[in-house]
Amino acid sequence: MGRTSDAREKLLSVAFDLIHESSYGSVSVEQICHQAKVNKGSFYYFFKTKTDLVVAAYEEHWRLKEPNYERMFSRKNPPLERLRLWCDYIRKSQRQRQRKYRHVCGCPYTSVGGELATQDKKVRLETQALIDRFVKYLSGAIADAIKDGNASAGDPETKAMLVHAFVVGLLLRAKIYNDLKILGQLEAGLFALIGAEIPKGRS
């Protein structure tokens, strides 16, 4: 295949999928190229290293998912509804991945970040940036919930960090146990952390 933008997009998509399905360490450049149907010459035309590909792949994944986050966390939605929509989105995304790969995949960002945090500075910093971007959505929703009197007083950024850590931990537990039913506890833990009641009709 020629050195085209189509080849680059295929490499980004395949790299993200393969690494999320298994791990960074278990996926080789050869596997990525083979599955993407792109020759290694084209790979090295676009990326110097596998790390460079991974950073670009995760950025591209964020770019594709960001419209969903903007929709869920829009101020048109009440603050607690934004958080509830996010919980639903997590379960839906994880179900889709489970059907595709026949196991729970967990959080794509923290999985690769946790694997490489002490080994690869580029990946660690990219993971930090992605987490920080998302925590801003959570912080905004929590701040609005506090302002509306629907969550207990406190620092929204700290609460957002705790919520994110809880959700990542629950995703990791679901991955280890290979059991999506664990994610049924998302709302209970999240709303308890911010001192809010789960919206009626939800559990």
Q: In this predicted model, what pLDDT tens digit does every residue of 139-160 receive, in sequence order?
A: 999 999 999 999 999 999 999 9
What's the distance, Cα to Cα, between the start and end of the chain in Å? Answer: 51
Instruction: List the single range of 72-76, 104-108, 154-158, 179-183 with lowest mean pLDDT.
Output: 104-108
Fold type of domain 1-61: Arc Repressor Mutant, subunit A (1.10.10)
What kind and span of H or E run contains 202?
none
Q: ∠136-172-166 over CA atoms, to 5°?
A: 40
Helix axes 186-194, 156-177, angle to 10 degrees: 160
Looking at CATH, the fold of the domain delimited by 73-203 is given as: Tetracycline Repressor; domain 2 (1.10.357)
Residues of the chain with CATH 1.10.357.10: 73-203
Distance CA(23)–CA(3), nearest Å, equals 27
Most confident of 23-32, 121-130, 177-186: 177-186
Task: Please state, as a whole number, how many other Cβ atoms lie within 10 Å of the Cβ of residue 189.
Answer: 15
Q: Give residue 1's pLDDT.
A: 42
